[in-house]
Amino acid sequence: MTKSLYEMMNGGFTTVMKQHFVDYFVGKSLNTDYWEVGNSSGSAGTWAMSDFGLCFTSGTGTSQGEIFFNNKRQYDGRGCAMIVTQASEFDMDQRGSGFGNDPTVNDMPEHLIVRVSHAGWSSDKSTPNVVHFQIQDTSQSPTYQTLKCGNNSSTGFNTYKIEAKNSSEECSVNGVLAGTITSPVFAANTKLQPFIRAKHGYTPPIVARKFWVKYVEAWNT
Amino acid sequence: MTKSLHELFASDIKPRTRFVEHFSGDALDTFRWDTTLVNNGTVAMSDTSNGGLILSTGTSSGTSSAQIDFGDKKQFGGASSIIWTAIHSHSATGESYSGLTAGSTQGSGAQGIYSYVNTAWKTTNFDLYTVGAGGNTWTNGTIAGLTSNHSHKLELTGTSGKSFVDGALNCESTTNLPIAKMQPSFGLSSTDTTNKTINITYCEAWEN
């Protein structure tokens, strides 16, 4: 009798496993039953499967594109986690991954995101190439918190994990805890969806840039 | 070196048919699943935490139903198992069959193994229904909580069909076990105007 994946992930059958999602981004094309493709700001980019997973090619100039669950928000803001493996062609673009309430909105009222590369999104623009970790919930006080994790945001493939808990949020880079935020935390019963975003920010290059993602796993803890 | 899924499951035997579905994302994966909807029944991904996929009968008068399966691609034999997690809104005045079926339409009496919910006709527990080549067997379940969230497992060994709920044995049948090829299937129907729903957040089926 062979085992089930359920048992291995959940430690048995006695508790009911919560919502979970995995995508390896392999195959002919993006599974658009799972993912919606959007362009929330600036010029439109394109998403297509490549030799290195799913590739986002930005528009030129300011550009912000994302994939998300089309506002099917099945993840709990006080008990969810996400792992993403991603890379970028050029360190002036920004790639961000995490949970949000509505990625079609440029500045989502509720989001938890790990952001890599140039810090144009940060107030400290003189310190590029640092992994940033941010939570925002406009119903809370303070409304947001941004943490510079101290890790270099290299352009190669790295694995990032974020986790939202009852009283804190954590960010890990390649399996090592990189930062913890304790305030704010999401309001109770905040529902979120995974999203992957690539952006040319405040000082955009004049040519298209590429960004790759080859693994996403999201789950309620 | 990372392990393969095959090594994790059982490295000493040939890989066998298996699939895993998390029911998360924008919409149901229609490359895998087929839907059958009658009289305004619906199937949609939920916009709620741990909501998964929602099968709904709707509120139309007359018989309404919603069903998902593999479009009659029957890749699982009489020694297979299926696990799923689900919460039903109904206990009576609607019925649901969840499990492995050789048929195309829920409640058709096709060979299969099913967890059945309808207190108006059967018990207030998760009842087991097995259908073989020569007849069928209803087995009363022992575990209640029809409208609570549970993990379910149906296990066919060739000599028995067992129903587990949250890891505990619910009931067992040793007669009229299916021998035909089967597909995973979840179906819900109603004959009144109260909407009935099942939220499913996980499904895994495999040949033992």
Inform me whether the C-beta atom of residue B48 falls under 8 Å from chain A C-beta atoms: yes
CB contact under 8 A, B24 and A34: yes
As a whole number, mean pLDDT of residues A194-216 equals: 81
pLDDT tens-place string over residues A89-105: 765 556 789 999 999 98
Asked if residue A122 has pLDDT above 50, the reply is no
Distance CA(B104)–CA(B99), nearest Å, equals: 13
* DSSP bridge pairs for B20: B204
Residue A12 lies in a domain: no
B17-207 CATH pick, 2.30.30.90, 2.60.120.200, 3.90.1150.10, 3.30.930.10:
2.60.120.200
CB contact under 8 A, A218 and B29: no
pTM of the model: 0.92
Closest CA in chain A for residue B45? A72
pLDDT tens-place string over residues B29-44: 999 999 999 999 999 9
As a whole number, mean pLDDT of residues A174-198 equals: 96
Structure confidence at residue A172 (pLDDT): 96
Structure confidence at residue B12 (pLDDT): 76
3-state secondary structure (DSSP) of residue A10: helix
First to last CA, chain A: 28
Is ipTM > 0.85 here? yes
Residue A17 lies in a domain: no
Distance CA(A154)–CA(A192), nearest Å, equals: 28
First to last CA, chain B: 27
Structure confidence at residue B4 (pLDDT): 84
Inform me whether the C-beta atom of residue B8 falls under 8 Å from chain A C-beta atoms: yes
CB contact under 8 A, A12 and B167: yes
Q: Predicted confidence band at A63 (pLDDT cuts at 50, 70, 90)?
A: confident
Q: Which of B22, B46, B154, B201 to mutate to test the interface with A (most CBs of A within 10 A)?
A: B22
Q: Which residue ranges make up each domain of chain B?
A: 17-207
Residue type, A194: P
> Whose structure tokens read 């099968």?
B55
Inform me whether the C-beta atom of residue B17 falls under 8 Å from chain A C-beta atoms: no
Q: Which of A1, A7, A10, A13 to mutate to test the interface with B (most CBs of B within 10 A)?
A: A13
DSSP secondary structure letters along B42-67: EEEE-SSTT--EEEE--S-SS-EEEE
For residue B7, the 8-state DSSP code is: H
Residues 6+ apart with CB under 8 A from B108: none
Inform me whether the C-beta atom of residue A17 falls under 8 Å from chain B C-beta atoms: yes
Inform me whether the C-beta atom of residue B10 falls under 8 Å from chain A C-beta atoms: yes
**Lowest-pLDDT choice from A112-121, A208-217, B40-49, B91-100:** A112-121
Distance CA(B83)–CA(A124), nearest Å, equals: 50
Residue A9 lies in a domain: no
Residue A144 lies in a domain: yes
Residue type, A181: I
- The pair of structure tokens assigned to A96 is 């961000």
For residue B182, the 8-state DSSP code is: B
Which range marks the domain in which residue A119 is found? Answer: 24-220
Query: B46 to chain A, minimum CA–CA distance in Å?
Result: 6
pLDDT tens-place string over residues B67-98: 999 999 999 999 999 999 999 998 888 899 99
Query: A78 to chain B, minimum CA–CA distance in Å?
Result: 11
Inform me whether the C-beta atom of residue A211 falls under 8 Å from chain B C-beta atoms: no
Taking Cα atoms as reference points, which of B106, B107, B116, B111 lies closest to residue B143? B116
Asked if residue A124 has pLDDT above 50, the reply is no
Residue A45 lies in a domain: yes
More confident residue, B113 or A128: B113
Residue A150 lies in a domain: yes
Query: B103 to chain A, minimum CA–CA distance in Å?
Result: 25
Structure confidence at residue A185 (pLDDT): 98
In three-state form (DSSP H/G/I as H, E/B as E, the rest C), the secondary structure along B62-121 is CCEEEEEECCCCCCECCCEEEEEEEEECCCCCCEEEEEEECCCCCCCCCCEEEEEECCCC
